[in-house]
């Protein structure tokens, strides 16, 4: 029996995975930056308050890499799913998610004492 995963069922599966893995993050505000951190105080995503660009930066190693390697999602599909997840789970509307390869967790943790 061959199982066919449609985009809508795949999207629901990814949203379910996101909520299971990261559905209980804690908001931490440091200056004009808002971080969402896990139980180990490691950040998963962040955005700048009062920023005109309305971007939310997703730490690549924590989410985006799984979307690509495990779920086989391309960038635009990943972006769309994360946008829905942020709206539904964290009531963050009007932000555009970006994968952030540049943001390194150790530097963030040391700089903002998020360990």
pLDDT digits (tens, 9 = 90+) for 51-82: 777 889 998 888 888 888 888 888 888 899 99
Residue 27: per-residue pLDDT: 94
Q: What is the DSSP string of 16-37?
A: HHHHHHHTT-EEEEETTEEEEE
Q: How do the domains of the chain map onto residue ranges?
A: 7-112
- Are 28 and 37 contacting, i.e. CB atoms less than 8 angstroms apart? yes
């Amino acid at each position: 029996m061959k199982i066919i995963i449609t985009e809508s069922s795949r999207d629901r599966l990814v949203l379910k995975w996101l909520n299971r893995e990261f559905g209980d993050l804690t908001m931490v505000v440091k200056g004009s930056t808002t971080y969402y951190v896990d139980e180990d105080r490691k950040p998963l995503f962040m955005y700048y308050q009062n920023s005109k660009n309305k971007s939310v930066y997703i730490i690549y190693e924590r989410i985006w890499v799984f979307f690509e390697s495990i779920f086989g999602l391309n960038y635009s599909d990943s972006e769309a799913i994360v946008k829905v997840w942020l709206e539904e789970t964290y009531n963050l509307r009007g932000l555009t998610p970006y994968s952030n390869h540049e943001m390194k967790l150790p530097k963030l943790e040391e700089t903002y004492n998020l360990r």
